[in-house]
Amino acid sequence: MKEELFSEQSIKLVGMGRQNCKDMHAWGPGIRSCFIIHYVMKGAGYLIVNHRKYHVKAGESFLTRPYTLIEYYPEEENPWEYMWVDFLGNQVENWVEHTQFEEKNPVCSLKQEEKILPLFLKLLEMDIYHQQRNEACGVLLSILGVYLDIFPVECVGRSDEDEKRMEMAVLLIKNHYHKSEFHIQRLCEMLNISRVTLYRLFKSKTGISPKQYLLNYRIEQAKLLLRMGTSVKNTAASCGFNDSFYFSRVFKEYTGSSPSRYAVK
């Protein structure tokens, strides 16, 4: 099990792990202070939430909420193996409302295992204590994006669903803009949506393309770094530009001033 608190604007990655319950490992009854998603890889088990019992089998996921009495344990004949992730954040409740994870029914069937399983496995392999904290939060956002895609609530309007996708896209941009290898196709993959859908979202919500939004954000972050006295070379590298000369040209096109002149204004 790994535990760390990584804070992004709207989400905090608290912990992650994988549990083989051949030894009949169980948890609770008790209360946790965060949201937890469990994805059952093999076997089956039971979840009890506020004294109500649910049977959960391989391919299904369940979500538990903060400060709610819970208990879960494996089936004796076929004990489960699961992966889990703990998280918090000021937008998490809104995200949960846009899935079929309901308080009255916290269990959902997962039909697209090929999408969610690699993300959980990638998260488990990461060093969230030091170098990969930012990337780990990005993977968590990708996991949440898959659940949004797999579990759309029928009563939720298209505009509300688009709003949550847009929020997720902006969070991913803010979390990955500093990487030169981060581009729009990668963003689409993390969100599990097509380039056409992403373009439509950004044009309707911001009036510009996602590529333009990403570039604008990188330039705005570059301005902040330059005002702090960061060198042009380090600013470029910190904002996703491998080539400082290319960065300088783009920066001047956007601001009318070279990075070095902007820094001394």
What pLDDT was estimated at residue 210? 94
pTM of the model: 0.60
Say which residues have a Cβ less than 8 Å from residue 1's Cβ, sequence separation at least 6: 15, 16, 17
Encoded tokens for 220: 């705005």
Q: Residue 30 belongs to what domain range?
A: 2-176
Residue 132: inside a domain, yes or no? Answer: yes
- Pairwise CA distance, residues 21 & 14, whole Å: 22
Domain with 78 in it: what CATH number? Answer: 2.60.120.280
Residue 206: inside a domain, yes or no? Answer: no
Q: 212: pLDDT confidence band, cut at 50, 70 and 90? A: very high
Residue 166: inside a domain, yes or no? Answer: yes
- Percent of the chain residues topping a pLDDT of 90: 38
What pLDDT was estimated at residue 117? 87
Give the mean pLDDT of the chain. Answer: 83
Which residue is listed with tokens 């949201």? 35
What pLDDT was estimated at residue 112? 63
Say which residues have a Cβ less than 8 Å from residue 135's Cβ, sequence separation at least 6: 126, 176
What pLDDT was estimated at residue 97? 74
Check pLDDT > 90 for residue 91: no
Residue 245: inside a domain, yes or no? Answer: no
Which of 38, 26, 41, 39 shows the shortest CA–CA distance to 65?
38
* Mean pLDDT, residues 51-64 taken together: 93
Domain count, the chain: 1
Q: Is the model more confident about 101 or about 19?
A: 19
Residue 161: inside a domain, yes or no? Answer: yes
Q: Is the four-CA dihedral 198, 201, 203, 206 of positive or negative sign?
A: negative
Residue 225: inside a domain, yes or no? Answer: no
Residue 249: inside a domain, yes or no? Answer: no
* Mean pLDDT, residues 21-28 taken together: 90
